[in-house]
Structure 1
Amino acid sequence: MKTRMIRSLASIMLLALLAVCVGAPQAALAAALPAEVDAWAKQAQVGPYQPSKVDWNQVYEAAKKEGKVVIYTSSSRTISLKEEFESLYPGVTLEVYELGSTGAIEKVEREQLAGVYNADVLHASGYASQLYLLANKNMIFPFYPPELSSVVPKEFREPLVAQRYESRAIFYNSKVYPKCPINSWWDLTKPEWKNKIAIVDPVTDASSLDLITTIVLNADSLAADYQKVFGKPIKLTTPNAGYELLKGILANNPKIYARHTDLIKFVGDPTSTNPPIGISIPFSSLSYAEDPARGGLKLLAATDISPAIGLLYPSLMNITYKAPHPNAAKLLIKYLFGTPKGELGMRPFFVVGNWAARTDMVEEPVHEYLPDLKLPLNSLKFWLMDPVGIWETSAEVQDWWMINVQ
C-alpha cells in the first residue's frame, strides 16, 4: 500500500480526483438517470444540469415563495449562521438540524427510502458514505454558484461539492506538555501511555472510523515507521501494521468518547495534572484553545509526528433529491461558500485548522488567543482520504474494532 501525504496545495487535487474516479462524469450522468430523477434534476438545474449562469435575483424571488430552507448539518457551528442568512435574505427562514455526519447521512437515506423529502441541503463530511450511499443512488446532487467555477477546482465540484477541508488528528494538553510528548503514532503503543489515551468512538463517529480505516490502508508506511521507532522490523499478529498499531493503542486501554466535543474538554482541561492524549479530534478544535468562554482549554495538535499527522478530508454541501425548497437551497450553498476573506457562511469555519475549498482566499485565519499559531495546509503532512478504500474496508475495520475493544 502506498502512503498518501499532502505536501503541497497542488497535491490536494488528488483528493477529489480519487472521488471522481469512482463516480460518473457529470456529462454522462443525465443519460444514466431514471426518467423521474432526470426530470427533477433538469427542473431544479442541479447535477448534470448545473447552469453556466444564474440570475440570483430571480433565485431569491423564487426562494421567498418557498419560504425556508432546511439544512442537515454535521456541525453545531452552522447554527450560528441563521441570523445573518435570514437578514441577507428576508422572507427565507433557515432551519438547521445538527445531526453529526453519520446521523445526517443516515437521516437523508432513511427518509428518501421512505419517500420523505424534508431536507434541502446536506452539509457534512463522510465523503465515502455520501458518495456510495447517497450520490450513487441519486439522493444528493451537486450545485455550485457558476461564477465560482474559476476559483473552486472542478475536482471539488464534481461528483460532489466541497465547502472546506477538515482533518482528524492527535491533540495534547499544552500546559502539562509544553512540547508535543510524542514523535510517532507508535509512541502511543508504549507502556508509558497506559490509561493515558482517549479516542472518539469509531463505532458512532464516521470521521473517526475513516481515520482508523485510513491507518489500516497505510500499513506500509506504518511498518516502515515502526522500524525507525523501535529499530527492528515489525512482527505481525494481525493482518497488517495498521491493525497492529490499533491493537497496541487498544492494549493501552484508551477511554472512548461518543463526541469529540466531550473529549476536547478532557484533553484540554487546564486543571488536569495527568491529561490523556486525544485521538481523532478535529483540527478546527484548535479554535477552542485558551478561549475563556470554553474554560481556557489547553489544546494543541501534534503537527510533526510520523508517518503522518492524521487524515485530511473534504466537508461537503450538496442539494438533496426532491428538495422542497431548491431555490432557497441554492442561496444557502452560495452563502456557505463565503468570501475570499472568510466571511458570510464561511465565517464559523474560517478558523485555524480548517481550509476553504475555494482557491482565492486572500487571508489566513488568525487565532484570537494564539495569534502566532499558523498552520498553512502546504506545511502539514496528512494522509489523504481514499474514498474507495474506505468504502471497501471500513466495515471490516469497524467489526475488528468492536471485537477487540475492551
Structure 2
Amino acid sequence: MNMTHIRTGMTVLTLTAAIAAPALAQDFDLDALVEAARSEPQLTVYDSTGKIVEIVENFAGKYGVDAIGQKVKATSQLEMVIRESQAGNVQGDVLMITDAPAALAQLIPEDFVYSYLPPDMADVIPESYQDPLTATTNANVFAYNTEVYDACPVDNIWALTDPEWNRRFAMIDPLSKSSYTDWFSQMESHHDEAVRAAYEAHYGKPLETDFDSATKAWVAAIGANAPLVTEGDDNTSAAVGAPGQDAPFFGLMSSAKFRDVEDKGHKMAICDTLEPWVGWTYSKLALIASGTDSPNAAKLFIHYILTEEGIAPQMVDGKVPTNTTIAMPADEPSGIVDLWDNLQAYDSRTGLDDWDSRQDWQDFWRIHYSR
C-alpha cells in the first residue's frame, strides 16, 4: 500500500496473530455495532496518556455508550490484564499499549487479548499496521534549549559521549522504561553500521572497540559520561527547556513534551540536524481483552480511535495516526511530521528479540552507567 511521505520509515509491524478472517467492508454495519454496544456493561479503556479520559468521554457522548478511560502505565497494563484474565474478572476492556514487544511476547500468544481491525478501515490502515492493530506511531526526540543556543549544539550522537556533555545530557532511566532498552536492541539489530559510520564521521577514524557492536560501544560511552537519568519526560523537558538557564541540558524526550513550550514557557526545539537520527519511534497497539463483557463497545471504540475525531486529542502531542487519510494538525508544537524520515523507525520483526534482550541491556546499562 502506498503511504504519504510523512510515513516513510514508520514502524513496521509484521508479526501476526492467528485470528479469524476479517469481514468484508461492505458487510460492516456501524449503526448495528452502536446499537449492540449501548446494551453492554461499562467499557473501560486503558492508556498511558491522560488524554484517554477526554477521548473516552467524547466517544461515550457521541455514541451514547457507557465508557470510561483510565491512565495506566504500560507496565501496569501488562500486569493488570494478565491478572484480570487469570482471575476471570476483566476490568480493562481495551488496551492502548506502547509496549509492543511485551504484547507480542506475553499478551497475544496467551490469548489475553486479541487484535481487531474494523473492516471499513482496511483500505486506510497500511497492512503492516493491521495485525496486531497499531493506532499511532510515537516518537522520542533529541532536543536543545533555544534560549541559550541559536542552533542545535550537537551534530552527532557520539558528541554526547565527549567531555563537553559530561553530566549535561538528560534522558529517562533505561531501567525504568523498557522502550529505551528496546531502542538499544533495535539500534544494534538494524542500524549498527550507521552507529559505526557516525563514529568515524565524528572522530575522523574508524571505531575500534572490544564490544561486539558499535551500539554497545555507544551505549557504554553514554553511560560513562554520567547523563542525568530522570523518572519521566516531564523532568527531562524541564532540564532542557526551563528558561533562565546558563548551561541547560541536552535531552531525549517524547515529542509530546513540546506542548510545554506554550503551557510552561519552556524554550526548546528538536535537534533537527543530529546524525544519524533526530530520534526514534515506537508503536501504540490497540487491543481488546479476550474476556471482555463489552465486545461490541470495544470494537466500536477501536473504530472511533482510528478516526480523526477519535485520535485528535493525541495528535496535538505528536502522535502520528496510522490511518493514512488523517493529516497532522498544523499547530502540532514539535514539528515532528517534517522530520519523520530522520527518525530511527521501530521494526517489530525483531520485537521478540527486543523482549528477550531487555534484561541483558538493563544489566549492560547498570555496569556502564556512571553517576
Give the TM-score of the pair, scaled to structure 1. Answer: 0.82
Q: Which amino acid aligns with 2:52?
A: T
**What is the alpha-carbon distance in structure 1 between the residues aligned to residue 124 and residue 296 of structure 2?**
22
**Residue 399 of structure 1 corresponds to which residue in structure 2?**
363
Match of 1:193 among 155, 162, 165: 165
What SS does the corresponding residue of 2:39 show, helix, strand or coil? helix
**Residue 296 of structure 1 corresponds to which residue in structure 2?**
265
**Residue 139 of structure 1 corresponds to which residue in structure 2?**
112
**Residue 256 of structure 2 corresponds to which residue in structure 1?**
284
What SS does the corresponding residue of 2:337 show, helix, strand or coil? coil
**What is the alpha-carbon distance in structure 1 between the residues aligned to residue 7 and residue 310 of structure 2?**
25
**What is the alpha-carbon distance in structure 1 between the residues aligned to residue 287 and residue 298 of structure 2?**
9
- Deviating above 4 A after TM superposition, structure 1's stretches of 4 or more consecutive aligned residues are 6-11
**Residue 66 of structure 1 corresponds to which residue in structure 2?**
40
1:366 aligns with 2:340: no
How far 1:193 moved relative to its partner?
0.5
| CA offsets 1:172-218 (integer angstroms, 9 cap, x no match) | 22212221111111010010101111111222213222223223333
Match of 1:310 among 279, 284, 289: 279
1:327 aligns with 2:301: no
How far 1:99 moved relative to its partner?
1.6
Alignment of 1:4-15 (within 5 A): 11-12=8-9, 15=11
Match of 2:23 among 32, 46, 51: 51
Match of 1:154 among 107, 115, 127: 127
Alignment of 1:6-405 (within 5 A): 11-12=8-9, 15-16=11-12, 19-20=13-14, 22-24=15-17, 29=18, 47-48=19-20, 50-52=22-24, 53-90=27-64, 92-158=65-131, 160-217=132-189, 218-279=191-252, 281-286=253-258, 288-291=259-262, 294-339=263-308, 344-351=309-316, 353-361=318-326, 363-367=327-331, 373=335, 375-376=337-338, 379-386=341-348, 387-405=351-369
**What is the alpha-carbon distance in structure 2 between the residues aligned to residue 326 and residue 369 of structure 1?**
36
**What is the alpha-carbon distance in structure 2 between the residues aligned to residue 7 and residue 161 of structure 1?**
19
* 8 Å Cα contact 2:57-2:68 kept in structure 1: no
Report the identity percentage. 25
Q: Which amino acid aligns with 2:274?
A: I
**What is the alpha-carbon distance in structure 2 between the residues aligned to residue 304 and residue 276 of structure 1?**
17
What SS does the corresponding residue of 1:384 show, helix, strand or coil? coil
**What is the alpha-carbon distance in structure 1 between the residues aligned to residue 273 and residue 21 of structure 2?**
44
Count of residue pairs the alignment pairs up: 363
**What is the alpha-carbon distance in structure 1 between the residues aligned to residue 113 and residue 53 of structure 2?**
22
**What is the alpha-carbon distance in structure 2 between the residues aligned to residue 211 and residue 108 of structure 1?**
25
What SS does the corresponding residue of 2:20 show, helix, strand or coil? helix
Say which is worse superposed, 374-383 or 267-276, in terms of deviation: 374-383
- The alignment's C-alpha RMSD in Å is 2.4
* 8 Å Cα contact 1:74-1:99 kept in structure 2: yes
Give the TM-score of the pair, scaled to structure 2. Answer: 0.89
Residues 209 and 114 from structure 1, CA distance in 2 versus in 1: closer, same or farther, beyond 3 angstroms? Answer: farther
* 8 Å Cα contact 2:175-2:362 kept in structure 1: yes
**What is the alpha-carbon distance in structure 2 between the residues aligned to residue 289 and residue 349 of structure 1?**
15
What SS does the corresponding residue of 2:180 show, helix, strand or coil? helix
**What is the alpha-carbon distance in structure 2 between the residues aligned to residue 9 and residue 175 of structure 1?**
29
* 8 Å Cα contact 1:289-1:299 kept in structure 2: no
Q: Which amino acid aligns with 1:206?
A: S
How far 1:117 moved relative to its partner?
1.6
**What is the alpha-carbon distance in structure 1 between the residues aligned to residue 261 and residue 250 of structure 2?**
18
**What is the alpha-carbon distance in structure 1 between the residues aligned to residue 362 and residue 200 of structure 2?**
27
**What is the alpha-carbon distance in structure 1 between the residues aligned to residue 75 and residue 144 of structure 2?**
26
Q: Which amino acid aligns with 1:320?
A: A
**What is the alpha-carbon distance in structure 1 between the residues aligned to residue 305 and residue 187 of structure 2?**
31
**What is the alpha-carbon distance in structure 1 between the residues aligned to residue 74 and residue 37 of structure 2?**
26
Residues 377 and 136 from structure 1, CA distance in 2 versus in 1: closer, same or farther, beyond 3 angstroms? Answer: farther
How far 1:151 moved relative to its partner?
0.7
**What is the alpha-carbon distance in structure 1 between the residues aligned to residue 120 and residue 213 of structure 2?**
47
* 8 Å Cα contact 1:211-1:310 kept in structure 2: no
**What is the alpha-carbon distance in structure 2 between the residues aligned to residue 185 and residue 200 of structure 1?**
16
Q: Which amino acid aligns with 1:116?
A: N
How far 1:54 moved relative to its partner?
2.6
Q: Which amino acid aligns with 2:292?
A: A
Residues 352 and 103 from structure 1, CA distance in 2 versus in 1: closer, same or farther, beyond 3 angstroms? Answer: closer
How far 1:70 moved relative to its partner?
0.7
Structure 1 unpaired stretches of 5+: 1-5, 30-46
| CA offsets 1:332-375 (integer angstroms, 9 cap, x no match) | 11111123xxxx211112236332101112x33222668xx473
| CA offsets 1:113-163 (integer angstroms, 9 cap, x no match) | 3443221111021111111111122121111221111111222111x1111
Say which is worse superposed, 169-178 or 378-387, in terms of deviation: 378-387
Residues 109 and 67 from structure 1, CA distance in 2 versus in 1: closer, same or farther, beyond 3 angstroms? Answer: closer
**What is the alpha-carbon distance in structure 2 between the residues aligned to residue 368 and residue 68 of structure 1?**
33
